[in-house]
A = this chain, B = another copy of it.
Amino acid sequence: MRIIVVGVPGAGKTSIMEEVSKRVNYKIVNYGDVMLQMAIGKNLVEHRDEMRKLPIEIQRELQEEAAKKIGTMENVIVDTHLTIKTPSGYFPGLPKWILDEIHPDLIVIVEAEPQEIIRRRKNDTSRKRDYETYEEIEEHIMANRYAGFTCSILTGAPLMILQNRDGMLDLAVQKFMEAFK
């Protein structure tokens, strides 16, 4: 199975993915990392920071090549985004042609309450994140749901909405594991 896992920053998808990957012996593949490795292999960049500065067409090519590579992998959890907030609005992380290459068997959206997400972001000093209001986070969570159902209809993959509430990681992992039965 190829499983796509998405969620707004602070929803806590990393903790869930790590626990699930251990239990089912799946590899976690970060979409952005695959793109980066490809760019380095082509001598386009040396560091991650340079990726954003590449011309948009080059970025799209890397995005598609990465999708092709991931589409050949078995038993992987793909760590990526359904929608990415940019100054131009919500950028689709999984447009149709990318989905066609990955052809996932399951899409999992990890969610939490906006209030929990704000708190988690505040406490996570390891990553630099722009401050977002409750309403902005809520809008982003909903945007992922809307986009998620489109992805499901385009690919035929079921869509799991997973609540990752504070102190209830076990429950989230347990629900995720239902997909492997």
| Chain B residues within 8 Å of A94, by CB | 153
Interface string of A38-52 (1 = CB under 8 A from B): 000000000000000
Interface string of A131-168 (1 = CB under 8 A from B): 00000000100110111111111111111110000000
Copies in the complex: 3
* Residue from A143, A158, A181 having most chain B Cβ neighbours under 10 A: A158
| Chain B residues within 8 Å of A108, by CB | 89
Bound complex: CA A90 to CA B91 (Å): 24
Does A88 make an interface contact (CB < 8 A)?
A: yes
Does A178 make an interface contact (CB < 8 A)?
A: yes
Are A88 and B153 interface neighbours, CB within 8 A?
no
Bound complex: CA A87 to CA B158 (Å): 10
In the complex, besides A86-B158, A153-B154, 16 extra interface pairs with C-beta distance below 8 angstroms are: A87-B178, A88-B106, A88-B178, A89-B108, A89-B161, A89-B179, A90-B160, A92-B149, A92-B156, A95-B154, A96-B154, A96-B156, A97-B156, A99-B153, A142-B145, A150-B150
